[in-house]
Amino acid sequence: MSMSMYPSDKMKMSAPGCFPGRYSPTYRGPDQMRRCMTNPSSRLLEDASIMCNSWSPRTNGDIFSGLNDGLLSRAEALAAVDMQKHQSSHAAHQQMTQQLKHDVMYHHSMGAPQRPLQTKNMFQMHGMDNLDLMSDPSGSMTTLTPMTETPISSSHHQLHGSYHSMNHMMSHHHHGGPLSGHTPGSHHSAMAAAVAAASLHPDQDTDPRELEAFAERFKQRRIKLGKYNCVTQADVGKALANLKLPGVGALSQSTICRFESLTLSHNNMIALKPILQAWLEEAEAQAKNKRRDPDAPSVLPHGEKKRKRTSIAAPEKRSLEAYFAVQPRPSGEKIAAIAEKLDLKKNVVRVWFCNQRQKQKRMKFAAQH
DNA sequence: ATGCATGAGGT
DNA sequence: CCTCATGCATA
């Protein structure tokens, strides 16, 4: 691997045609605008007590400890402040707002085994590993332009991360800091030129600014490509499977969108960049001489159980944020207490905290770069 | 564009 | 039970 300042993080790959892709054929999304109005909720005070009760001493004096610059953090801080203010005055009349707790969710019988193309990295940012794709002799880059449904046999490939705990100093940082070095234990990657080329300049690839610039360029060029056809984020995701890069399968619209908007973790951005870059180059090349035919109908397969998304109401959400500001990682018991208090399922609360942490991490990183 | 969820790999 | 990469569903 080119640089492994981090243990792990290889792209695990195996058989090429991997990846069961399942896309919602229904997607076609217009977008919406920002929303969310706030409603007052006096439940905050009570909520606070959950956290305040047996609380670890360290967070006492300063509820801001551990918080930082993220926008989210600021919001949380405000929530925490608000809640403290009320703590004394308080008038907690809980409205048991419990809108129907929509915790409904039929569990879909997963129809698609998803095999994440995961770069198993860990450790906080600083990480800058790249995936190292192995070469693929058959590297026939075939159609990758927006096409429709590719009958990808859902063969999973089990990728696995072999970690090598290497020295991972956190040098690098900022643009310009040529870090390089890295004895590439990696070898043979003489495949997709773009990918290979990309890995030559780790610095540039890991530099937040470079990533940002690339994401922007990517978006513009992606849109240009479509012109009359319109290459959507979903198209790109699907097309990736056609770019037969080892270990690289399709991705969802969500991921492409997040890449473009830089809402992925730093490591994730780094891992995806070479792949998207390879696609972009190939797509533009194809666009030159070819023209894509209007695909075939993919139509939605069958009626499987649809997963229902739980929706946490604004008041509850604010309470959660307040708790989070005080303790981002509540214990199982606390989670249970919070869940009960808010009349939410414990798992919903647990997941909310997990997601909140991921989000906060991204924001912290973004804020410092 | 994003919120909530799943799953793999770890601890 | 966590973190991470991702995805489905939805606003």
Q: What are the pLDDT digits (tens) for A190-231?
A: 344 445 555 555 566 688 899 999 999 999 999 988 766 678
> Which residues does A67 contact at the CB level (< 8 Å), separation at least 6?
A73, A74, A76, A77, A325
> Closest nucleotide to A110's CA, by C1' atom?
B6
* pLDDT tens-digit map of A19-54: 333 323 222 322 222 232 333 334 444 444 555 444
Q: Does A103 contact strand B, using a CB cutoff of 7 Å?
A: yes
Give yes or no for residue A311 having a pLDDT over 50.
Answer: yes
The spacing between the Cα labelled CA in A223 and the C1' in C1, in angstroms, equals: 42
The most confident of the ranges A61-65, A70-74, A245-249, A289-293 is A245-249
The spacing between the Cα labelled CA in A209 and the C1' in C1, in angstroms, equals: 35
Strand partners, A125: A127
Q: Name the residue closest to C3, CA to C1'.
A: A122
Integer Cα distance of A19 and A272 in angstroms: 16
The spacing between the Cα labelled CA in A308 and the C1' in B2, in angstroms, equals: 15
Question: Whose structure tokens read 């997601």?
Answer: A355
Report helix, strand or coil for A119: strand
Amino acid at the residue A45? L
Q: Name the residue closest to B10, CA to C1'.
A: A122
The spacing between the Cα labelled CA in A85 and the C1' in B10, in angstroms, equals: 40
> Closest nucleotide to A357's CA, by C1' atom?
C3
Question: In the prediction, which pLDDT does A7 show?
Answer: 30
Integer Cα distance of A269 and A93 in angstroms: 45
Q: Give the mean pLDDT of chain A.
A: 60
The spacing between the Cα labelled CA in A193 and the C1' in B2, in angstroms, equals: 34
Q: Does A123 contact strand B, using a CB cutoff of 7 Å?
A: no
* pLDDT tens-digit map of A325-358: 999 999 999 999 999 999 999 999 999 999 999 9
Integer Cα distance of A56 and A59 in angstroms: 6
Question: In the prediction, which pLDDT does A266 show?
Answer: 96
* pLDDT tens-digit map of A298-309: 343 445 567 788
The spacing between the Cα labelled CA in A122 and the C1' in B10, in angstroms, equals: 9
On strand B, nucleotides with any atom < 7 Å from a protein CB are 1-10
The percentage of chain A sitting over the pLDDT mark of 90, rounded to a whole number, equals 31
On strand C, nucleotides with any atom < 7 Å from a protein CB are 1-11
Q: Does A258 contact strand B, using a CB cutoff of 7 Å?
A: yes
Q: Does A31 contact strand B, using a CB cutoff of 7 Å?
A: yes
Q: Name the residue closest to C11, CA to C1'.
A: A32
Q: Which two tokens stand for residue A133?
A: 């794709």
> Closest nucleotide to A252's CA, by C1' atom?
C7
Q: Which two tokens stand for residue A19?
A: 């990846």
Q: Has this prediction a pTM greater than 0.75?
A: no
The spacing between the Cα labelled CA in A58 and the C1' in C6, in angstroms, equals: 35
Q: How confident is the model at residue A131 (pLDDT cuts 50, 70, 90)?
A: very low
Q: Does A73 contact strand B, using a CB cutoff of 7 Å?
A: no
Q: Residue A230: name the closest of A21, A20, A23, A30 by CA.
A: A30
Do A40 and A322 touch, CB atoms closer than 8 A?
Answer: no
Provide mean pLDDT across the span A283-294: 69
Strand partners, A175: none
Q: Does A29 contact strand B, using a CB cutoff of 7 Å?
A: yes
Give yes or no for residue A363 having a pLDDT over 50.
Answer: yes
Chain A 305..364 CB hits on strand B (< 7 A): 307, 309-312, 317, 347-348, 351-352, 354-355, 358-359
Q: Name the residue closest to B1, CA to C1'.
A: A31
> Closest nucleotide to A253's CA, by C1' atom?
C7
